[in-house]
Amino acid sequence: MSRRRCIWPLWENRAPGEQCAGNMVEKGQGNSGKRRGRIRNILSGAMILAGSMFWLGGCHGSQGLAAYEIPGEFDDSGQYEITFWAKNDTNKTQTRIYERAIDDFQALYPNIRVNLRLYTDYGKIYNDVITNIATNTTPNVCITYPDHIATYLTGKNLVVSLEELFAHEKYGLGGSEIRFDAPEQEEIIPQFLEECSFGGHYYAVPYMRSTEACYVNKTYVEALGYTLPETLTWDFVWEVSEAAMERDGEGNFAVNGQKVLIPFIYKSTDNMMIQMLRQLDAGYSNEEGEIQIFHDTTKELLETMAEHAGTGAFSTFKVSGYPANFLNAGQCIFAIDSTAGATWMGTNAPLIDISEDRLVDFETAVMTIPQFDTENPRMISQGPSVCIFNKADPQEVLASWLFVQYLLTDDVQIAYSETEGYVPVTSKAQNSEAYQEYLSRSGEDNNLYYDVKISAAKLLLDNVENTFVTPVFNGSASLRDAAGQLIENTVKSVRRKQAVDDAYMEKLYSDTISLYRLDQLGGSGVSAAGGKADLGKLPRTSAILLASLAASWVFILLYAVVLRVKKSRK
């Protein structure tokens, strides 16, 4: 009986002796048969590659999954494993809250296993999701921001739209088959829920909410001869900041007796620009994705910042460092950061990032961010939301949805909000006896009941009606980054002694548009309502380029065939 052996395609890396079902030749077939086998495999691969390239040239932007359909019943007999990507700021208490929520949920649903993966940065979650979209290995549940979700939606039906799940009689919010006390849709704070709606669909639910606060060294403000107003204004902050730049005869700053002082430091300059523009009713962007930020009002704001950066009265986190560290060392008077960063602010903060010998004793006031119009305050609403990625198995998606609902229960919401200056996203949790008691005990200690942290939470609770969010579209995350970069570049340029004039601003605008590709946004090609639009055929030049690449690979593979044939004849 003749013996057979495998002829593997050149592109397959197989172990010696590995079994194969196809690509066989008889031992007695001879060299010509083996050559024909090799050539067949190589040419087949070349044809597949070329076909793929031409397919890409013919139609693009239409890949994705079928729209999610809710099963009639949840299958208790099946075993489901879901992944949950979350952020925890290296806060071990937050980690324990996630772990306890998972344990409690799994006790209610023993056939669902939740695997937790923690990140310390939302940007890293975003980048990993983008990477995993390409390999169809996205997580099931993900902590994220609406701006990021808009980018995920460039894949068709990759993110589950939730409105049908919200309303489902059995498994919807507060549904009859839910095994825990889930909130109903009406109990999610409307403003927070609307932040998760864009393109005509809900693509997430809010998890926690925060805003920005100005943490003020009230002791230094009064030492400079000023009294804090009920509501801060930009003019007041600039004036006090400049007054604080006075030095004594030894070169120390008079207000703190130190060599270092930056009176005003802003943590997130993207929020700074966005909120200033909203307060002035100036353009940023609209729901259609039109970029509106590059106008004279933005230029005037940047010129004001340049003026105060030039005296040393103003800087940013990216340029100088974390505002809380300067504030706690008596080297900053106005530190603007998220209310979720309140545990780092103040002399008695439970989380301190500087040595104790550098701490300065002062009274901390927690105030809303500065305003242009104190009668009509405006501040951004921010904080993590949770989205669900579509999968081939609808039961797996339903298991993910059940877990997302569990994250909205009172126990999880209250426990997590107490770790920082967050607020729960449901009226059910906010009005609960447990949460109200927590708020009432402000100042009892410098840990769970730290007064600055609870004051920051109350600031948002008192100003929900004054919050806003920016329009969400594919590219809105890039626009947000660009808004902050305008300020960062301006401050850096001033420190480098560059002239910030009309020519500088014109170049800054041009460079920023180019860097973030903002001239390619504006809604073209991508629909926020659920993924990529059908873009039809590629432009002729692009199709020619792809065809050329395919032809090049064909010739490369044919050349490899010739070399292999010649080698086999020797």
pLDDT digits (tens, 9 = 90+) for 453-498: 999 999 999 999 999 999 999 899 999 999 999 999 999 999 999 9
Adjacent-strand bridge partners of 202: 197
Strands 80-87 and 112-119: parallel
Burial environment of residue 135 by CB neighbours within 10 A (0 to 12, 13 to 18, 19 or more): exposed
Lookup: tokens for 25: 């030749």
- For the residues 519-524, what does the mean pLDDT come to? 65
Which of the pair, 262 or 56, is modelled with greater confidence? 262
- Binned at pLDDT 50, 70 and 90, residue 540 comes out as very low
Distance CA 143, CA 118 (A): 10
Q: Between these two residues, 523 and 445, which has the higher pLDDT value?
A: 445
Question: What does the pLDDT look like over 289-332, one tens digit per residue?
Answer: 999 999 999 999 999 999 999 999 999 999 999 999 999 999 99
Strands (E), 94-245: 112-119, 141-144, 197-198, 201-202, 205-206, 212-217
Q: Rg of the chain's alpha carbons, rounded to an integer?
A: 29
Longest dimension (CA), the chain: 105
pLDDT 10s digits, 162-202: 999 999 999 999 999 999 999 999 999 999 999 999 889 99
Residue 501 to residues 160, 488, 506: CA-CA distances in angstroms?
Answer: 48, 16, 9
pLDDT of residue 531: 35
User: What span, in angstroms and rounded, lies between the C-alpha atoms of 187 and 185?
Assistant: 5
Report the pLDDT value the prediction gives residue 48, as an integer from 0 to 100.
43
